[in-house]
Structure 1
Amino acid sequence: MLLNRAQSRVSKAQTIERIIFYLVLLFLPTQLGRHFWPEFSHVLGVRVDYLSPTLYLSDILVVFLLLFSFGRKVYKKSLNFKFQFRFNRIQISNFKFAQWLFLFFTLFLVIGILRAKNPMAGWYGLLRFFEFFFFGLYVVKQKISFAKIALVFSFGVVFESFLALAQYFQKGSMGGLFYFFGERAFTSQTPGIANASINGELMLRPYGTFPHPNVLGGYLIIAMVMVMSNVKCQMSNVKRALLFSALVVGTGALILTMSRIAILLWLAVVLFTSLKKLQENFKKRFNFCCFFFLSAEGKAVWHKSCGRAGC
């Protein structure tokens, strides 16, 4: 009885942990956070964004995720459960070597920070590195449904794409509620804003909630590759409609970012996927034609043999 209760608690904790993980993915494109402005974040008395320590909503979710994961594992150990981490497509044959490698890499970073002109900014960067490293390690060690990940990414693609389209036609930021998702206030006339010249006319490249259109393009292509790789025939109409909508509006938003590398990569992905699909269809039709031809030929041979034998 006690064992069943313990297992139920572990299962509930794992469910909460998985929900937090999907929330992290959902809020990845947003920049909802709190900026802090210590002395080291100023250059000649001017605030510099990339030197400012920022606590994002995604950071809080990642910390909660790691705490839940660590607590669940400690609880399972206390109950003498045997559990084993399994690497998905990544196998480290000698984990001790990997530990030493990570230790030397961290030591190398620490030495670089101590010799830097702005060591406090370096320590903040190292903290962010550890956050992303342990989050990546968590993802590698978990059995995660890529279909659900694609579904979560499709929501992000649709949101960012519609916001990018609105910014393009508005020729500036939308403001209002989108400010809390990390959208910056700008217009096509803002100094330093990313514009493109089309037929002699300056056109605003949409930002979404990202710091630059190229970053938006990078997010869109990564998310859309995940979505495209999980579009299957055997799924509900609602899911299929959502995934296809994400691909359509995402492609439109990607073109508007005018990020050449991202657009070329997306064209290459679409071309490769289309050729692979055509090859599969060709193989199926070719096999069917061969089967039909051999069946007809076999039937003709059988009739001839029967005619000669007087069947």
Structure 2
Amino acid sequence: MLLKLEKSIFYLLIFLAPLQLRHIFFFLGEKFSEWQSIHIYATDILVIFILSLWLWRSRKNFSFKFDGIEKSLVVFSFFCALSLFMAQNLQIGFFGLAKILEMSALFLYIKRNFEKIYGIDFFWFAFAGGALLQSIAAIGQFFKQGSLGLNFLAESPIGPNLPGVAKIAVNGERIIRAYGTVPHPNILAAIISTAIFGLLFLLIERWLKSKKTEKALAAVVFIFLALGLSLTFSRVIIILTLIFLVLWLCFCFREKKYRAGALWAGVLAILIFAAILISFSPYFLSRFSPQNLGESQPVVLRLAYGEIALDMIKNRFFLGVGQSNFTILSRDYLTMLAPWVFQPVHNIYLLIAVGSSAGTALVLDDFGNYRGIKRP
């Protein structure tokens, strides 16, 4: 009975993962900043329930013997905790550490339980369902060019004339990029991209035993996901999605049992993305123009964040500036700017190194190597 409850909560977590149901307890300053706030998501509560049920279920045989990847995670968490001695704001620092510990525990749970009690098919059904809702919201935001009033989902206030909102310029007109209910279009793009691969995995794997109605439903969902991804106008993620989609479908086509599904999925993807490209060609031409790339505000800010992070690492090499304190201290470098400008450095290794020390970033690198990620 408890195991069924645990599994149900886990699948609910996967479904809600693309959504943003949260309560904000506290934030620094007079204006809200995503990166300087203390909040709790509905998914955090679900994670706590899942971990509690797991600990109760395995109370008699829980193993504290960690393998290599788990030891790396423990060391990583220790360095993150140690960095709090350098934190300018302990509240934000402790909150950041709590999130790391929560996600580390969830990783441990998935690593030790997923293959034993969960099914990959239902996992992707749940995730694609949540991403579908995000895509529908994103499409609505783009055509409305503003928020949809989804305050109960913590939808960001967005509009073409609001400062700090991600936009593109088309023929001198400001056009907002789709947010869904997450803090930034790039996050939404990553979620939808993942869902696209999950959906096509289900379609290809189940092709021979799927009914026509199921295939038609998958095609409709794919249309919404592809359009939602495209309207984020996230350059890197869209390009990488298309490249890896081609490579993956070619790989699937080589396997006889997946050939029919891969061929159908490939034709569907070509038709849908071609239709989207043609329909929204002025937007893509503006967004992906090489002339606009070097001078675009996001690129300039990302370079600035990188330079700030490197300077902080040089000054506090061993313990960093404190977990989640980068955006607080970056105010000393970027003065007289709007609150939305102060964001984490857009590089995972630099972010970890500046927050918790260069050694912590090396531990993360070892974490990746253990999983078999090879350098070119």
TM-score, normalising length from structure 2? Answer: 0.62
Alpha carbons 2:135, 2:180 under 8 Å: kept: yes
Question: Which structure 2 residues correspond to residues 91-106 of structure 1 after superposition, within 5 A?
Answer: 95=66, 101-106=72-77
Which amino acid is the alignment partner of residue 16 of structure 1?
L
Q: Are 1:190 and 2:175 counterparts?
A: no
Q: Are 1:266 and 2:255 counterparts?
A: no
Q: Are 1:247 and 2:222 counterparts?
A: yes
C-alpha distance in 1, partners of 2:89/2:62? 42
Question: Which structure 2 residues correspond to residues 119-130 of structure 1 after superposition, within 5 A?
Answer: 119-130=90-101
Moved more, 99-108 or 114-123: 99-108
**Partner SS for 1:197:** strand
Question: Which structure 2 residues correspond to residues 35-74 of structure 1 after superposition, within 5 A?
Answer: 35-37=24-26, 41-43=27-29, 46-74=31-59
C-alpha distance in 2, partners of 1:272/1:18? 33
Alpha carbons 1:30, 1:182 under 8 Å: kept: no
C-alpha distance in 2, partners of 1:192/1:22? 34
C-alpha distance in 2, partners of 1:158/1:104? 37
Q: 1:277 to 1:111 in 2, by over 3 A?
A: closer
**1:46 offset after TM fit, Å?**
4.7
The aligned counterpart of 1:291 is none
**1:216 offset after TM fit, Å?**
0.6
Q: Are 1:224 and 2:199 counterparts?
A: no
> Percent of counterpart pairs with the same letter?
27
**1:239 offset after TM fit, Å?**
4.3
The aligned counterpart of 1:139 is 110
The aligned counterpart of 1:203 is 175
Is there any run of 5+ residues in structure 2 with no aligned partner, and where?
261-376
**1:146 offset after TM fit, Å?**
0.9
**1:18 offset after TM fit, Å?**
0.4
C-alpha distance in 1, partners of 2:87/2:38? 17
> CA offsets per residue over residues 18-67 of structure 1, 9 Å max, x none?
00001111111222111112xxx424x55533222111111111101111
Which amino acid is the alignment partner of residue 249 of structure 2?
S
Q: Are 1:26 and 2:15 counterparts?
A: yes
Which amino acid is the alignment partner of residue 186 of structure 1?
I
> CA offsets per residue over residues 236-285 of structure 1, 9 Å max, x none?
4554444332222111111111101111111112211332354446x989
The aligned counterpart of 1:162 is 136
C-alpha distance in 1, partners of 2:73/2:253? 45
Q: 1:183 to 1:242 in 2, by over 3 A?
A: farther
**Partner SS for 2:186:** helix
Alpha carbons 1:146, 1:230 under 8 Å: kept: no
> CA offsets per residue over residues 121-142 of structure 1, 9 Å max, x none?
1111111111111111111112
Alpha carbons 2:18, 2:131 under 8 Å: kept: no
Which amino acid is the alignment partner of residue 275 of structure 1?
C
**1:198 offset after TM fit, Å?**
2.4
Is there any run of 5+ residues in structure 1 with no aligned partner, and where?
1-11, 78-82, 86-93, 286-311
**Partner SS for 1:203:** strand
Q: Are 1:150 and 2:124 counterparts?
A: yes
C-alpha distance in 1, partners of 2:125/2:67? 37
Alpha carbons 1:154, 1:243 under 8 Å: kept: no
Larger radius of gyration: 1
Alpha carbons 1:53, 1:124 under 8 Å: kept: yes
Alpha carbons 1:165, 1:206 under 8 Å: kept: yes
1:117 to 64, 83, 88: 88
Alpha carbons 1:151, 1:243 under 8 Å: kept: no
Higher RCO structure, 1 or 2 (CA under 8 Å, sep 6+): 2
Q: How many residues align?
A: 253
Q: Are 1:13 and 2:13 counterparts?
A: no
Question: Which structure 2 residues correspond to residues 295-306 of structure 1 after superposition, within 5 A?
Answer: none
Q: 1:15 to 1:274 in 2, by over 3 A?
A: same
The aligned counterpart of 2:153 is 181
